[in-house]
Structure 1
Amino acid sequence: MSTDPWDLLDAASTVVAFHAHPDDEALATGALLTALTARGTRVILVTATRGEEGEIVPGTVADGEQQPLEEIREGEIAAATAALGIAERHWLGTAPALAPDAAPRRYRDSGMQWVRPGLAGPADTAGEDSFTHRPLDDAAADLAALLQSVQPDVLLSYDDEGTYGHPDHVRAHLVARAASELTDVPFVQVASDPQAAQEVREHPGTAEAVHRALSAYRTQLTVVDPAPASDPAPESIPIRHVGGQDDAVPLATGLRPLETSA
């Protein structure tokens, strides 16, 4: 079997994508997941937390709103995944992404703080029920249960840099790696730095779907352009994060080479 990550994805009929929070699937892998679903690949999304610690874009939640942020973000992820063509999604710790004989458990958003521009680090407020503080073995067993249930060809998640160092992203990498080892499902890593990628591929024709998915996350970000450009085809979707930072979500993906044991 090839260990080239793109060969594995090209041959896959079922892919499990594992992300830390609602919106990560669109920000980190939106174009890739759209391309996979468009060609008929079965994509199953597993999300570790409900993003309870996320900041809120001013004006997107009415004053006096009683609905908890996690419920709002559950609605956002439902709309976003529909836009990407993903029909199956689960929360880590809820069956079928739950270890056999284990009681259902929720992994709470660990939060983060900026260490320097572009690099996040752990927050001081993460509690015992946070994703980064709960036992790694529990989370790995929960993800492994889902993998054993659906028998995917590939498990897709972050590399060890966690895109920008968010502690939940780094934890997701460790959980995915452990679950891969438990089940022998190949682990394909999305490169945080394109320079570290084995190959970067563009995903033409995905701009509209990614634009709609990102637009669903009104509490977390703002899509700068009201509609995606069609001529010429865009290379990215410009956004503004909740903290006011301008960014561009690329319509291309770099994958890291698979790690193999000696």
Structure 2
Amino acid sequence: MLAVHAHPDDESLATGALLAELSARGVRVVLVTATRGEEGEIVPGSVPAHGSRALEEIRAGEIDAAARTLGVAERHMLGEPPALAPDAAARSYRDSGMTWVREGLAGPSPDAGPDSFSLRPMDEATADLAALIEAVRPEAVIGYDDAGTYGHPDHVRAHHVSAAASARAGVPMLEVASTQDAEGFSWREQPASLEAVAAALACYRTQLTVLGTRPAVAGAAGADAVPAVLVRHVGGQDEVIAMRTGLRLSGPAR
């Protein structure tokens, strides 16, 4: 399986339970990330005040640790070989940043530059991802649905790039539901992934704080029926990461 994500930490927040389950079952999981998360806010005190490392370097270390915890077999950056179109020079897709449109819904940042992932030519990213698909030859590509979890412009662009590249390569795409009440998805419960997801999320000290875990709620349905990790994001928002994933098949079936 090839999982496509926009920033470091997205793989653990949006698909951690799924990736950990797949890896535990012996499935080879490959991760590609579009940006280095350069525009992300930082949890106060998580980075030394007089440190010399750039944020993208710190976040690279975080995602390396999280990917190992989830059992990811290999990790790549979009725009670098093998996730680079043939004969193209290596390129970097910058974090586009975002602004809050309303609670729970993000929109484009007015400061996004021409090198940002959401504004660079989509054909470039599509060609780069198609090259990785050709190199990895996955059974399916795992990506966001068209809502892009919470509307972040890089997540929405990642959805469109994933859909275009998987269609070009003739590989099915599994879209991950953005919300726990989304309709039209098949839901999988992954309670055994709880420990791995909690540990993976704890790797992201600059982005969030793991508050603890919650057991399944007896007699409950949906997200409450499975264990969950409780996190507080850098902006102060609390989120329940349920060990449950909604999937929808798109693209050519095999």
TM-score, with length taken from structure 1 = 0.90
1:251 alignment counterpart: 243
2:137 alignment counterpart: 151
Q: 1:215 aligns with which of 186, 202, 205?
A: 202
Range moving further from structure 2, 61-70 or 206-215: 61-70
Q: 2:186 aligns with which of 196, 199, 202?
A: 199
- In 1, Cα distance between the equivalents of 2:217 and 2:26? 26
Residues 208 and 228, structure 1, Cα contact 8 Å, conserved in 2: no
Please state how far the C-alpha of 1:204 moved relative to its aligned partner: 2.1
1:71 alignment counterpart: 57
Residues 43 and 205, structure 2, Cα contact 8 Å, conserved in 1: yes
Residues 15 and 245, structure 2, Cα contact 8 Å, conserved in 1: yes
The superposition leaves residues 202-229 of structure 1 with CA deviations (integer Å, 9 ceiling, x where unpaired) of: 102111100000000000000002x676
1:26 alignment counterpart: 12
- In 2, Cα distance between the equivalents of 1:231 and 1:178? 39
Q: 1:42 aligns with which of 18, 28, 32?
A: 28
Residue 177 in structure 1 maps to residue 163 in structure 2: yes
Runs of 4+ in 1 over 3 A off after TM superposition: 227-234
SS of alignment partner, residue 120 of structure 1: strand
1:220 alignment partner AA:
Q
1:12 alignment counterpart: none
- In 2, Cα distance between the equivalents of 1:71 and 1:202? 34
1:63 alignment partner AA:
A
% identical equivalent positions: 59
Show structure 1 runs of 5+ residues with no match. 1-14
Residues 214 and 230, structure 2, Cα contact 8 Å, conserved in 1: no
2:154 alignment counterpart: 168
1:85 alignment counterpart: 71
User: Structure 1's 231 and 246: CA in aligned 2 closer, same or farther, altered over 3 A?
Assistant: closer
Residues 6 and 33, structure 2, Cα contact 8 Å, conserved in 1: yes
SS of alignment partner, residue 205 of structure 1: helix
- In 2, Cα distance between the equivalents of 1:229 and 1:235? 4
SS of alignment partner, residue 42 of structure 1: coil
The superposition leaves residues 21-50 of structure 1 with CA deviations (integer Å, 9 ceiling, x where unpaired) of: 000000000000000000000100000000
SS of alignment partner, residue 103 of structure 1: coil
1:136 alignment counterpart: 122
